[in-house]
Structure 1
């Protein structure tokens, strides 16, 4: 990345800084999002390790007493700019929610321990001065314990997401059949401020939003307690659980640095990888997502099902590499891997998670390929990620074959991961 491009990526992160954290994008996403902040910290560490640490500190300030790290920490002054906002969740009325900030009750994929370790590695002396690891470690332990004890709704050692928003891949085709069982008639009036900042053809539909709100209402109205026996949406998502396994490896590194025993974290990462293997679908040579309500695995090839390549000792790694490099993803001239099977008849290369290529997924895929010894393909993917990010003013996502930008621009994790991809040229997952 030329110096001018590094400066432009840095300028995006600085302009989106909100005093304690980085907004994903100033218009479309006016609050702090959980897994966004972790990805942002990974790149921000190359600009300011101290500020990257503050990014994560701000997120930990919203942790609930049960250990969950919430999907969103709200800026009360921007409540009308995003829906559902703090007035919908009313987290201050829910036992166990923090009293100092308003948050959502849902969570997002657990890439946080991974981010904490990478931020520490960027400047160990600064990290030690701030007691960064020793402060973060117990909070991360509580977060992972919440996932292990409260979210293993299928009883097989995998975390269940309770809403499409928790997966991070909101309107993925993986959720279609389950969402069809969900009413699209919430009590709450569904407002769409997102459509002021992005084209409707690139965003989930009003009907999908109706179902999203209905699920969120159901979860909120049960005090976000994770024990609603009749809850209709429970999924073991391969991407969420892969990041869980990688973050257990990061916890092992943190534990070792602090003089604690890393063995339980290595053991837990291996357990998650073994459980993930039950999601493999031979017919698509990819991992699917298990619908815990029905017990069936959704056999649709998505980027979620490719990224178990990152998990330690994952089964079917050779098949996953072949599928990633084959016609479903990169093998038909794609610049970056599409979020959904390129051969599927319902692919839409401009509609959110139903086909476009996302920069965080491309970065994860490049790391996975590099870690598996496919270094030429990995480097080509990482270079293309940087080129498309810079050329298109750091868009939210792009068309996989055209590189056409979609969604909002000056998107923080795109800028952050362009910096990370350029600066960290190795293939070690833990930096």
Structure 2
């Protein structure tokens, strides 16, 4: 449906708005309930393992509640780092049955990492938000000496993660990282990938031999379609069967895309690493230089003047996706983004397509697009993690009023809809998994921020 078919519901439509104190307690309860030995799961029913970028967002919130768990979450994830530097997008819990999540460890058939036996991770990555998280935990820790020891353990691993992405994944040769699967973006079924995915053959018989588990515990109409999922399995199979090698990807891999949000996060991670390097007595200059290089490449290669925002680029065809998705606004997190680009993104964010300054946070996709879908995952719903990044970007560029409005919108939708995975961009109702960890964690961070 189009956003114009149904007006925005009033603030009380999705339920009573709880107090900020009650929200704080609810968020703490969610994080405590989702703690599993040495890490936090995103959601008990739908996501019973450890996810990479979830761990980073969760750690930001845990810094306000249980900082020792924040560090432990990151340590647990990076213990599964591969020898080549990649940090897998899922670290599987050996106590969870293969039947309870697909695709599980048997499908991925991943080699062992330095801290895990073989077969307990996936072979793909997610956006490297972890350095940003590590810096945030450090800044909030009262015991700086203990926090510095944590940074000293993490720093070389974070550097290795960045080196893997920059050196092994610059498939286009233009200084930007390519993702090899939509899941690597974190925005699984975003319209940003539609054109690139269209070139991947659809074999629905894959879903007979590989049964989806997500639709057994979640509403089917809220999840990626079977057609999308068949393509996801085909792409993952191709990468796995190629031994997870990154050489000659352009010649043999069916999906290669430069994502604006992934690359913006990559540059933001370098800036965070510069601060971490200073804290532990290392040289920050290489990190600042790389952040500048990635920011420049991003501004030159993925910005479309006709839409005023950033777009995903299909490395195979060289074409920018026409879809106006929220990942095209995420480069706002970069303080070095040219001012003209910042002004343009602010204009788009405040337009009817995204509605910055309105009652609700920004949707994941253009509200005015004919295929806007208010319920289906990344094809319309509101996600707190992306809005949290935009809030930080607005603050960094000095747009205090817009940042305050967005903070208010995020807290209101969570207070009204609960700590859900995502939210209806029309009514504000919570949808997807309930008791979702990164929503709870980022709510704590928002609550701790000054008005």
Q: Is the shorter-chain TM-score for this pair beyond 0.5, marking a shared fold?
A: yes
Superposed structure 1 runs of 4+ greater than 3 Å apart: 94-98, 331-334
* Contact 2:28/2:65 (8 A) holds in 1: yes
Range that drifts further, 244-253 or 225-234: 225-234
- CA 1:110–1:50: 2 relative to 1, 3 Å: same
Matched, 1:418 2:434: no
Match of 1:366 among 384, 391, 398: 391
Superposition deviation, residue 131 in structure 1: 1.6
Match of 1:140 among 141, 149, 158: 158
- CA 1:101–1:21: 2 relative to 1, 3 Å: farther
Post-superposition Cα deviations, 1:227-281, rounded to whole Å, max 9, x if no partner, equal: 2322121111000011111110000001011111101101110101000012101
Q: How far apart are the structure 2 equivalents of 1:407 and 1:127?
A: 40
Aligned to 2:14: none
TM-score of the superposed pair, with normalisation by structure 2: 0.91
Aligned to 1:114: 132
Task: Quote the RMSD (CA, aligned, Å).
Answer: 1.8
Aligned to 1:280: 303
Match of 1:131 among 149, 154, 162: 149
Q: How far apart are the structure 1 equivalents of 2:359 and 2:123?
A: 37
* Contact 1:235/1:291 (8 A) holds in 2: yes
Higher relative contact order (Cα pairs below 8 Å, separated by 6+ residues): 2
Q: How far apart are the structure 2 equivalents of 1:408 and 1:31?
A: 14
| DSSP 3-state at the match of 1:91 | coil
Q: How far apart are the structure 2 equivalents of 1:60 and 1:319?
A: 37
- CA 1:175–1:57: 2 relative to 1, 3 Å: same
Post-superposition Cα deviations, 1:284-322, rounded to whole Å, max 9, x if no partner, equal: 111011100111111321110011111132131100011
- CA 1:195–1:176: 2 relative to 1, 3 Å: same
Match of 1:2 among 4, 11, 20: 20
Where in structure 2 are the equivalents of 1:251-262 lying within 5 Å? 251-262=273-284
| DSSP 3-state at the match of 1:62 | coil
Show structure 2 runs of 5+ residues with no match.
1-18
Aligned to 1:90: 109
Superposition deviation, residue 184 in structure 1: 2.3
Between the two proteins, the alignment pairs up a number of residues equal to 425
Show structure 1 runs of 5+ residues with no match.
427-431
Q: How far apart are the structure 1 equivalents of 2:386 and 2:113?
A: 35
Where in structure 2 are the equivalents of 1:173-184 lying within 5 Å? 173-184=191-202
TM-score of the superposed pair, with normalisation by structure 1: 0.95
Range that drifts further, 3-12 or 164-173: 3-12
